[in-house]
Amino acid sequence: MASVQEKFTEMTWPSSPEKATLEAKNKFLGFWFFLGGETVLFGSLFATYLALKDKVPDSSHPLAKDLYSMDLTFAATMLLLTSSLTSVYAMYHMKNFNFQRMQAWLLITVLLGAAFLGLEIYEFNHYVHEGHKFTSSAFGSAFYSLVGFHGGHVAFGLLWILSLMVRNAKRGLDLYNAPKFYVASLYWHFIDVVWVFIFTVVYLMGMVG
Amino acid sequence: MENLRPNSANPKADLNYRRKKNAEEMRYQVVSFALMIFLTLIAFAVVHFEGFSHWFVAPFIMLLAVVQVIFQLYYFMHMSHKGHETPQLFLFSGLSVALITVLTFVTITWI
Amino acid sequence: MSTYAHKKGFGATIWDYLTTVDHKKIGILYLMAGGFFFLVGGLEALFIRVQLAVPNNDFVSAGLYNEILTMHGTTMIFLAAMPLIFAFMNAAVPLQIGARDVAFPFLNSLGFWLFFFGGVFLNCSWFLGGAPDAGWTSYASLTMEAHTHGVDFYILGLQISGIGTLIGGINFLVTIVNMRAPGMTYMRMPLFTWSSFVTSALILFAFPALTVGLFLLMFDRLFGANFFDVAAGGNTIIWEHLFWIFGHPEVYILILPAFGIFSEIFATFSRKRLFGYSSMVFATVLIGFLGFMVWAHHMFTVGMGPIANAIFAVATMAIAVPTGIKIFNWLFTMWGGNIKFTTPMLYAVAFIPSFVAGGVTGIMNAVAAADYQYHDSYFVVAHFHYVIVGGVVLALLAGTHYYWPKMFGTLLNETLGKITFWLFLIGFHLTFFIQHFLGLMGMPRRVFTYLPNQGWETGNLISSIGAFFMGIAVIILLINVVMTQVKNVRVGNDPWGDGRSLEWAIPSPPPFYNFKQLPLVRGLDPFWIEKMEGKTEMTPAEPLGDIHMPNPSFLPVTISFGLFVAAFGALYHVDGKDWALPVLFVGMGITLISMLLRSVKDDHGFHIHKEDFENEDKGGRA
């Protein structure tokens, strides 16, 4: 019986470490189920946003087409899409049992994610100055809830990946932490999936009117 | 739990084979990334170029988003690989519930 | 290594339960906590019936009545029925599929403690300025007008316990997919496992909608958002949709495991294979699927328009088809069987006509045009109590008697059990049958009193008398439990004598590792198959070997307790209390540090070595 603490070399490293033990298989499947639930969560938030889009108390409040800027959204989108690719690279090196490279790519992922978060904070701050606040209208509440929930997911993902990196910096890869890295990268891709819909439904469609 | 370790007689050959397979897959990933960026560019361009009708732009960029998400799910998240049947079932079930919710909120919420 | 060999002190037992990750003990925790909240909710029901027994009664004030009514519904659904169902899922599902534990033992425990602290938080409202009073549905148009903290207790309490339920759902899904014993294919799983599987999937997809709804309500009430403030562009219908997108599947989350329990009982005590097993599975899945398509039938009178009403009406009626399949399958299981009328079987037999009555009134309610008449009347109250008490509660009582020996190793007294059954059944029909007619005579639901001379006096009095029958029945059940545990007559593996599935092939209660060797499953009703070949045990599927088990942990309690503390901070933050924000941070700190501890500390579990088993067989077992 293989133990999760066993030391591996690149020769003995299994080809699918994310599913090599029963614990790993459970984690893998449970996380996918969780993502199924998250889909409904974001679906409900999108639905609420669409129902409340441009619903403001009076005409002094800015509407979607007055607010959103294409440059900012484009930059944020590129950052997050690229971070999705870098986490794929990290998992590529994980499968090849190259711990150092995996850590390096994860670090790049985290930096890109942090840059995305910085842009989002800048954007929110900008909107607040334009009079588009969480408490100013139903539109504001719905916008900040949807985009803020996504931003919260990004922030949590950053903390998660960072703590995994720090935690395992000295231990290297084994069958106990490989599934954790894999699942964290799934989470990161899922955040990207949600963002694809956010930039399309919220920003681009908002600009079209 | 048993370990799914390859039982090839020559571990070196096995390793080389796996390396090659992983590298090949990584190439597909990069290609799909390029396609995703391309689709994103089109979406932004269509909105940026203000000549198109709203009735064309909205469904068109939605379609681009769906295609892009399929790339994310099937390549980046490996849903095209074997052993992802149950994840697919549950992800798409979640997606259906989400879609019905969205449909409801844009049709029968304001009366 | 044997668990039954040594007696432990009281403190050690408490600590054992606080830290346990064993699904059987977590099942007992769910049973105790759910049972406690069932008594609380029952007491609230009795207060309601005392108040309504005669016209113009002043037993409770109008405001207090609203609180009692809200808490009765909320407690019964979220804090009694759900956890009791989880109790049986924990007790039976891993055993039925031949697993040594659930997929995520730590999360299993976390799910329980989140539910528990959420429930305690909700009930703290009684002592801190008043309970929620906007009905268990807490429609936004009412909650926005609520001026006490009651509704905030509802929001935060349900949010915490809801996370626990979601975790529990994912845990059982993975357990059933990944941990089945060799030979246990999907189409050999007992029906209770199947219904638990579908229920868990419904939990996974329904609870996020509630989570979002509760978040929106919380943002509006505590953080100044405007989702439901019409003057700021908001819309209260959003809450109604989100609540029922969760709330309707929730009804099936409750009833499907009830169907599962009854399916086990019918097959066991008819001593026959369940009739139409594959159609039962199909019907279960179909009910789960349709459960997501019908939520707006709770909203026919909102004014969604004739097209929406028609679609949801037809979808609702469609659910009668798979439910009908099930009813006929149960009848055919009994037909020609060698029936033994034990207490669980009595409940099962009584369930069929009771539940069918509730189903038929459901179809009546589904007729959108007619629903305008029934809406918000006692007819609706009668309908949902017929399905929930006549379906879910009868199943929970039946399950308590049926699984008691497997959970505790003792058999509840059959005579007392039958007395409980008859009192409860008679009381149930006395209480709720008459309410159909009260509703048709025009009595609205959720009123705290009514005037005389409208023809409602006799009906309400009969209804209140019935409620006390149910109360007495529950007291007798409690006496039965105490007597049985004091006498402590131990039973063997298969106390009913006719067990069909794997749980009856191992000791009662099972050792903490469940199966020394994983069993080989050779068909549906695996234990029955072995018995028919004259064997008394399952054929093992593996040689005796080391068994890997998870370590106990206290962290689930601290994680949940942190959220419990933080919720108080969030709740009093709106009052501008100085201590509110620090309390919020301290609570979140406790939770986050506990989570960090969990991720930083390696937890590889431990092994039971096969030598220990060999020593035990040589006479270690007392």
| B96 contact residues in C (CB cutoff 8 A) | 292
Give pLDDT, residue A3: 60
| B111 contact residues in C (CB cutoff 8 A) | 237, 302-305
* A 48-107 near B (Cβ less than 8 A): 48, 50-51, 70, 73-74, 77-78, 81, 84-85, 88-89, 92, 95-96
Over residues A161-186, mean pLDDT: 93
**pLDDT of residue B8 exceeding 70:** no
**What size, in residues, is chain A?**
209
Helix (H), strand (E) at residue C379: helix C378-387
Contact with chain A for residue C242, Cβ under 8 A: yes
Q: Is residue C555 part of a domain?
A: no
Over residues A113-134, mean pLDDT: 96
Q: Which chains touch B (3 or more CB pairs under 8 A)?
A: A, C
**Residue C390 lies in domain:** 22-542
Give pLDDT, residue C115: 97
Residue C221: CATH number of its domain: 1.20.210.10
Give pLDDT, residue A12: 84
Contact with chain A for residue C574, Cβ under 8 A: no
Q: What is the mean pLDDT of chain C?
A: 94
Give pLDDT, residue A113: 97
- Please tell me the total count of domains within chain C: 1
Over residues C136-145, mean pLDDT: 94
Contacts of C578 (CB under 8 A, 6+ apart): none
Give pLDDT, residue C414: 96
Give pLDDT, residue C7: 62
Contact with chain B for residue A12, Cβ under 8 A: yes
Tell me which residue in B4, B19, B68 faces A196 most closely, judged by beta carbons.
B68
d(CA C246, CA C206) in angstroms, rounded, equals 5
| DSSP 8-state symbol, C552 | P
d(CA C474, CA C618) in angstroms, rounded, equals 45
Give pLDDT, residue C323: 96
List the single residue in A with minimal CA-CA distance to B4: A20
Contact with chain C for residue A50, Cβ under 8 A: no
Give pLDDT, residue C602: 81
Tell me which residue in B93, B104, B111 faces C205 most closely, judged by beta carbons.
B93
Give pLDDT, residue B10: 66
Over residues A10-24, mean pLDDT: 87
Query: Which tens digits make up the pLDDT trace of C170-220?
Result: 999 999 999 999 999 999 999 999 999 999 999 999 999 999 999 999 999
Give pLDDT, residue C6: 55
A85:B29 CB<8 A: yes
Question: Could you identify the residue written with the tokens 């050999």?
Answer: C188
DSSP bridge partners of C608: C547
Torsion of CA C364, C370, C374, C376, to 10 degrees: 120
C54 torsion bin: left (phi>0), alpha (psi -120 to 50), beta (else): beta
**What ranges do the domains of chain B cover?**
1-80, 82-111
Give pLDDT, residue C576: 85
Spatial CA neighbour of C126 closest among C150, C144, C146:
C150
Grouping H, G, I as helix, E, B as strand and the rest as coil, residue C519 is strand
| A20 contact residues in B (CB cutoff 8 A) | 3-4
Q: Let me know: does A150 contact A196? Beta carbons within 8 Å.
A: no
Over residues B83-98, mean pLDDT: 94
* Topology (CATH) of A70-208: Four Helix Bundle (Hemerythrin (Met), subunit A) (1.20.120)
In this structure, how many other beta carbons lie within 10 angstroms of the beta carbon of residue C377? 19
B100:C235 CB<8 A: no
Contact with chain C for residue A41, Cβ under 8 A: yes
| A167 contact residues in C (CB cutoff 8 A) | 599-600
Q: Which amino acid, C426?
A: I
Spatial CA neighbour of C171 closest among C231, C114, C110, C84:
C110
Q: Let me know: does C467 contact C46? Beta carbons within 8 Å.
A: yes
Rg (CA), chain A: 20
Give pLDDT, residue C1: 41
Over residues C1-22, mean pLDDT: 78
**pLDDT of residue B11 exceeding 80:** no
Over residues A97-106, mean pLDDT: 95
B97:C177 CB<8 A: no
**pLDDT of residue C248 exceeding 80:** yes
A135:C224 CB<8 A: yes
Q: Which chains touch A (3 or more CB pairs under 8 A)?
A: B, C
Q: Is residue C568 part of a domain?
A: no
Q: Let me know: does C446 contact C135? Beta carbons within 8 Å.
A: yes
**At C604, is the pLDDT very low, low, confident or very high (cuts 50, 70, 90)?**
confident
pLDDT higher at C615 or C553: C553
**pLDDT of residue C475 exceeding 80:** yes
% of chain B surpassing 70 pLDDT: 89
A11:B95 CB<8 A: no
Give pLDDT, residue B3: 45
Contact with chain C for residue A208, Cβ under 8 A: no
Supply the ipTM of this predicted assembly. Answer: 0.94
For residue A32 the two structure tokens come to 């996918």
**At C612, is the pLDDT very low, low, confident or very high (cuts 50, 70, 90)?**
confident
| DSSP 8-state symbol, C306 | H
**pLDDT of residue C619 exceeding 70:** no
d(CA C167, CA C164) in angstroms, rounded, equals 5
Contact with chain B for residue A208, Cβ under 8 A: yes
C238:B105 CB<8 A: yes
**pLDDT of residue A139 exceeding 50:** yes
Helix (H), strand (E) at residue C608: strand C606-608
**pLDDT of residue C493 exceeding 90:** yes
Q: Let me know: does C390 contact C351? Beta carbons within 8 Å.
A: yes
**pLDDT of residue C80 exceeding 50:** yes
Contact with chain C for residue A29, Cβ under 8 A: yes
Give pLDDT, residue C599: 85
In angstroms, what separates the C-alpha of B20 from chain A's closest C-alpha?
10
| DSSP 8-state symbol, C389 | I
**At C621, is the pLDDT very low, low, confident or very high (cuts 50, 70, 90)?**
very low
* A 61-100 near C (Cβ less than 8 A): none
**pLDDT of residue B84 exceeding 80:** yes
| A48 contact residues in C (CB cutoff 8 A) | 212, 216, 227, 238, 242
Tell me which residue in C201, C292, C304 faces B108 most closely, judged by beta carbons.
C304
Interface test with C, best of A1, A45, A132, A141 (most C CBs within 10 A): A141
- Could you write out the three-class secondary structure of chain A? CCCCCCCCCCCCCCCCHHHCCHHHHHHHHHHHHHHHHHHHHHHHHHHHHHHHCCCCCCCCCCCHHHHCCHHHHHHHHHHHHHHHHHHHHHHHHHHCCCHHHHHHHHHHHHHHHHHHHHHHHHHHHHHHHCCCCCCCCHHHHHHHHHHHHHHHHHHHHHHHHHHHHHHHCCCCCCCCCHHHHHHHHHHHHHHHHHHHHHHHHHHHHHHHC
**At A4, is the pLDDT very low, low, confident or very high (cuts 50, 70, 90)?**
low
**What ranges do the domains of chain A cover?**
70-208
